[in-house]
Amino acid sequence: SSWHAQNPGVPVQPIKAQVPHLLLTAKKSSCSLMKEDKAKRVKELHDALKSFLHSQNAKLEAIATANNITFDHVKGLINMKTNYHHSHCDMLQNALVHTKSLEVNTELVKVNLEVHLLSQSEEKLLIKKLQEYCKLKMHGTNMNNTATACDVNYMVDRITKELENLHDQTGIYATLFVMCGHVNDTIQSTWTTNNNSADFWQDIIQQPVADIACKYEQWACTQGQNIVECDNLASIRKQVTKTILNGLSGCLGRNIVMNYLNYKHSIILAYGVELVGWPTNIKFINPLSISIISKVIRL
């Protein structure tokens, strides 16, 4: 089961279809010979490197013995500077391409998009297509679990880096939990903290953050909800009502009952607290009595 299978009515992001390459007999034979030749060259290179490393270690041991130091110390001095870089790091080649692109792009003729006159209906159609494309890329489900897991891993890494950057700039504390929502998902549930936020869960909640993550994952997998069930009217009503009650209980330090009909006297005057942020164009009534889902979502 995949997230797409749990949401059959939701649009699916298009995937790049891979056309199968049908090889002729001669081409297959050529590829086989190339494969054998490549394997032979790889083995020769491996043997040459092995011989070189063996002789290098012998020379390093001789140097270590002559200078009365350990072999590991000499090897550490030789390998102190790494010659390997992350594929996404800023490298000289990327810097040269960036500099050259600035030189070339500054001399390009500026294109005037208003040269080709469009009718009002054509403009609306183009804007509508762009909006549909953006909506599909933002909210469309992935085709399979592999694509879903890759998407989640990439986004978690991106959010983690942004939180670290924000911590360096502002000193915030943050904890991020990302859990799979189905037992058959291949998404790797994970969590991340910054600025020793993990101590909060251990010292205040009295549980390690790893245990909380496991319980969170178990709870998420037992929900069994898809997009429609998560965003239905009853579920959102319940969330809004619980949020308001939790806010009042947190301010007063005790559990009270929210009174929407006699709110001014029963809540404001009686307890000295006021609910702020209620939209002006939504009538102040019990969220359970609101029948329009868009209004409940705004709350």
Confidence at residue 267, expressed as pLDDT on a 0 to 100 scale? 79
Radius of gyration of the chain (CA): 31
In tens, the pLDDT along 8-67 reads 777 777 776 666 667 778 888 888 889 999 999 999 999 999 999 889 889 989 999 999
What are the residue ranges spanned by the domains of the chain? 28-74, 144-223, 231-298
Supply the pLDDT for residue 252.
Answer: 77
Write down the pLDDT at residue 156: 92
Distance CA 54, CA 48 (A): 10
Output the CA angle 100-85-195, nearest 5 degrees. Answer: 105
Residue 96 in this model has a pLDDT that exceeds 70? yes
pLDDT of res. 125? 83
User: How far is it, in rounded angstroms, from Cα 13 to Cα 129?
Assistant: 15
Q: Could you give the percent of the chain with pLDDT greater than 70?
A: 86
Alpha-carbon span 277 to 198, nearest angstrom: 31
Q: State pLDDT tens for residues 102-152.
A: 788 776 666 555 556 778 888 788 888 888 888 888 877 777 778 888 888
**Among 171-175, 204-208, 219-223, the least confident range:** 219-223
Between CA 179 and CA 189 the distance in angstroms is: 4
For helices 71-78 and 25-66, angle between their N-to-C axes, nearest 10 degrees: 130
**Neighbouring residues of 166: CB distance < 8 A, sequence distance ≥ 6:** 172, 174
pLDDT top residue among 1 and 234: 234
**In this model, does residue 159 exceed pLDDT 90?**
yes
pLDDT band at 266 (very low <50, low <70, confident <90, very high): confident
Residue 228 predicted with pLDDT over 70: no
